[in-house]
Amino acid sequence: MAGKVLFITGASSGIGAQTARQAADAGWKVALFARSEDKLKDLASEIGENAIALPGDVTDLGSLQAAVDKTQETFGSLDAVFANAGTGLDTPGIEKGDPEEWSKLIDINIKGILLTLKASYPALKKAKGHLVLTGSVAGRIHISASVYGASKWFVHGLAGNMTPDMREWGGRCTVIAPGMVDTPFFDEAKPDKLKPEDIAKAVVYAIDQPEHANVQEIVVMPTQ
């Protein structure tokens, strides 16, 4: 797998940043996409010549398309995409939920993944590449009135639908379903839960499989 290229959304912190580090250690070139330009540049500098910082907005197709084009210009191909960008809600549930927050969540967690796939699909098809989506255990179980959970059900459904589509042209699709992870996603630290490194290992494991094998889903749960 040495020298292949991985495009990561939500790459500036947490799971995305750690996946970039571990993928680079495994021989991948990494294209880092997120809104936080300073964090991206710092991460790209840390990784070195096999990383490129691509500031942009996952809800903007033009921004994503420009980043995908720049990735191919710089590294010569695009072999895998990790659609990882996501957000949660400050006010969960329906009764007290904020429709403006729902719109933001839908834009990032649902439309953002669709736009990422739209922008990268031709490059993935050309490379017979690999799509990896950040789902959630919340997208595999029912949580009372969870709008966030429903958005992750969409992600799992999309992954299931993309698997046969990509198989037709030699591509692969994987959904990673973490339990609670100690990342900036939460307002308070979760020291007894999963770490971003745990999820990054799952992503790298999936994309480093031989071409005849597709790991379609990985569920990673904390032991406590």
pLDDT digits (tens, 9 = 90+) for 46-61: 999 999 999 999 999 9
Does residue 84 register a pLDDT over 60?
Answer: yes
Spatial contact of 198 and 221, defined as CB atoms under 8 Å apart = no
Q: What is the pLDDT of residues 99-143, one digit of tens each?
A: 999 999 999 999 999 999 999 999 999 999 999 999 999 999 999
CATH code of 84's domain? 3.40.50.720
Least confidently predicted of 39-48, 98-107, 180-189, 206-215:
180-189
How far is the C-alpha of 40 from the C-alpha of 45, rounded, in Å? 8
Q: Give the pLDDT mean for 178-184.
A: 85
- pLDDT class of 1 with cuts at 50, 70, 90: very low
Sign of CA dihedral 90, 94, 98, 101: positive
How far is the C-alpha of 92 from the C-alpha of 98, rounded, in Å? 8
Which of 120, 146, 143 shows the shortest CA–CA distance to 133?
Answer: 120
More confident residue, 185 or 156: 156
The pair of structure tokens assigned to 47 is 């990784």
The answer to whether residue 148 is catalytic is: yes
Does residue 187 register a pLDDT over 90?
Answer: no
Which of 28, 133, 148, 171 is labelled catalytic? 148
How far is the C-alpha of 46 from the C-alpha of 53, rounded, in Å? 11
Q: In this predicted structure, what is the pLDDT of residue 192?
A: 77
Which structural domain range is residue 197 located in?
Answer: 5-220
* Whole-number average pLDDT of the chain: 95
The total domain count for the chain is 1
pLDDT cut 90: percent of the chain above it? 92
Model-level pTM?
0.94
